[in-house]
Chain A
Amino acid sequence: MTTSLWREHILPFTALLMALAVAALLGDFFLHRLDLVWVGRYLGIPGILLIVVSLVYSLRKRKLITTGSPKSLLTFHEFTAWLGSLMVLIHSGIHFNAILPWLATIAMGVNVISGLVGKLLLDRSRRHVQGERERYQLRGLSRPEVEQAVFWDAVSLDAMTQWRKVHIPIFIAFAVLATGHIVSIFLFWGWV
């Protein structure tokens, strides 16, 4: 793999993912420090609502709704899903109690990663690999030699393409697990 693919594409992706993790840890830290841990208990509600609202883009993409600019809705989807995920991560905190909500959190994490792969890596990496191919061809390399030269980049690209395919199934898993968690809270918690 050439260093440029790592530096220009994978590094920003890692940085954005790390920003989510660091923001979640900082949020949890300050809630504990300010004796506001109870706030974290309720952050799951706005968090999941933001994630639900972010699905407007998915409805638009599948033409279930026809209004709204797809590009703007994609930006909205990315922002609300990222922020909602941050809230849910803080809500999860560092406490391990029940398995179901943690499976939901893990599914959400995988979903965020696959979403970021789609946003930051896939298109740019595809363009990058194609550019590399064209550059090697211009330098007079034969087709097998070009494929040899871009081998690791192509492997990375294939892996990313697979990640993209994960986004929808893992979202369904997250939706079912999160619904199970929410139903169990309604069933067992005294809201009144």
Chain B
Amino acid sequence: MSRILKFLLAANLIALTVLVFVYPHLMVGPGKLIPGHRQLASDCFACHTAFFGADSGRCLTCHKPDEIGRLTTAGRPIAKPLTAVAFHQKLSSQECVACHSDHAGVRRYRQSGHFNHALLQSAMREACQSCHKAPNDALHQQISGNCSQCHTQEKWTPATFNHDRHFKLDRDHDTRCVTCHTANDYSRYTCYGCHEHTPANIRREHIEEGIRKFDNCVECHRSGNKHDIRGGEGGEGRGKREHDD
């Protein structure tokens, strides 16, 4: 390598090094900051701790947890909050960077509007309706609360519950949930909620066949099809208490 080439190479690399220190947000910053943090663009260590990344503790120097979603960092009321409910006060720990990314290049890798519900206090985790509106469809209008029976906190759809695994809802059983699941308890059921099945006629039909344990219907009947019957010996199922009552 000639001396001139070495000199040019060294001069260019030194110039670039200087630029890194003068314009760090352009040279090494992964994209623009959110508009609210624009004034911090060239002050990397306002948010970052060397070798440990963005530090949530530094966020809290400006963003008081009690005021997030209610007041601005200047103490003025927020006219149009980003979320309907101020839930930051219900977080179990103040790990801001678990959900928030300020640089455009980093935000690209996060799903906007999503956060890990495990960060909420346990009592708040169960109170879905304090933040979420119940769906307006006929199914969900019959239910209040206890969403985790059918949905995870990772994502609403698909629901984790597959009714066909327990009982197939054919055209004869295309009915309202509360016909079988009373008291808003979907862990139990009754088959005596309609006019077709009564304790008396069910008892008679089973005794005629020599069947004495018939308190847990779905143990043998997984659909309304009379030919789709499985033998069952136990009878100690979910439906037991309902029928005992």
A residues near B, CB below 8 A? 37-38, 41, 95, 97-101, 103, 168-169, 172-173, 176-177, 180-181, 184, 186-192
Q: Please state if A189 and B28 are interface contacts (CB–CB under 8 Å).
A: no
Contact of B20 among A100, A173, A192 (CB under 8 A): A100
Chain B contacts for A101, CB-based, 8 A:
28
Q: Please state if A169 and B1 are interface contacts (CB–CB under 8 Å).
A: yes
Assuming A97-B30, A97-B104, A188-B48, is B9 touching A172 (CB within 8 A)? yes
Chain A contacts for B20, CB-based, 8 A:
100, 180, 184
Q: Please state if B26 and A190 are interface contacts (CB–CB under 8 Å).
A: no
| Complex Cα spacing A186 to B53, Å | 8
Q: Please state if A188 and B27 are interface contacts (CB–CB under 8 Å).
A: no
Q: Please state if A181 and B1 are interface contacts (CB–CB under 8 Å).
A: no
B34-77 CB mask vs A (1 if < 8 Å, else 0) is 00000000001000101111100000000000000000000000
Stretch from B11-19, B189-197, B200-208 at the A interface: B11-19
Residue on B nearest A184 in the bound complex, by CB: B28
Residue on B nearest A99 in the bound complex, by CB: B27
Within 8 A of A (CB), among B91-121: 97, 103-105, 108-109
Q: Please state if A173 and B28 are interface contacts (CB–CB under 8 Å).
A: no
Whether, in the assembled complex, B31 has its beta carbon less than 8 Å from a beta carbon of chain A, the answer is yes
Q: Please state if A190 and B50 are interface contacts (CB–CB under 8 Å).
A: no
Q: Please state if B30 and A190 are interface contacts (CB–CB under 8 Å).
A: no
| Complex Cα spacing A180 to B6, Å | 19
Q: Please state if B29 and A97 are interface contacts (CB–CB under 8 Å).
A: yes
Q: Please state if A169 and B27 are interface contacts (CB–CB under 8 Å).
A: no
Contact of B109 among A38, A168, A187 (CB under 8 A): A38
Chain A contacts for B183, CB-based, 8 A:
none
Q: Please state if A37 and B1 are interface contacts (CB–CB under 8 Å).
A: no
Assuming A98-B29, A169-B5, A176-B13, is B105 touching A187 (CB within 8 A)? no
| Whole-angstrom distance between the Cβ of A183 and the nearest chain B Cβ | 9
Contact of A188 among B5, B6, B16, B53 (CB under 8 A): B53
Within 8 A of A (CB), among B162-218: none
Assuming A41-B109, A173-B13, is B28 touching A100 (CB within 8 A)? yes
Assuming A100-B27, A177-B16, is B51 touching A95 (CB within 8 A)? no
Chain A contacts for B17, CB-based, 8 A:
180
Q: Please state if B44 and A168 are interface contacts (CB–CB under 8 Å).
A: no
Q: Please state if B109 and A37 are interface contacts (CB–CB under 8 Å).
A: yes
Residue on A nearest B23 in the bound complex, by CB: A99
Which of A41, A168, A190 has the largest count of B CB atoms less than 10 A from its CB?
Answer: A190
Q: Please state if B31 and A186 are interface contacts (CB–CB under 8 Å).
A: no
Q: Please state if A100 and B16 are interface contacts (CB–CB under 8 Å).
A: yes
Residue on A nearest B30 in the bound complex, by CB: A97
| Complex Cα spacing A41 to B51, Å | 18
Which of B30, B50, B54 has the largest count of A CB atoms less than 10 A from its CB?
Answer: B30
Q: Could you show 30 A-B contacts with beta carbons less than 8 Å apart? A: A37-B108, A38-B109, A41-B109, A95-B108, A97-B30, A97-B103, A98-B27, A98-B29, A98-B31, A99-B26, A99-B27, A100-B16, A103-B16, A169-B5, A169-B6, A169-B9, A173-B9, A173-B12, A173-B13, A176-B13, A177-B13, A180-B17, A184-B28, A187-B48, A187-B50, A188-B54, A190-B53, A191-B52, A191-B53, A192-B52
Chain B contacts for A177, CB-based, 8 A:
13, 16
Assuming A100-B16, A177-B16, A188-B48, is B1 touching A168 (CB within 8 A)? yes
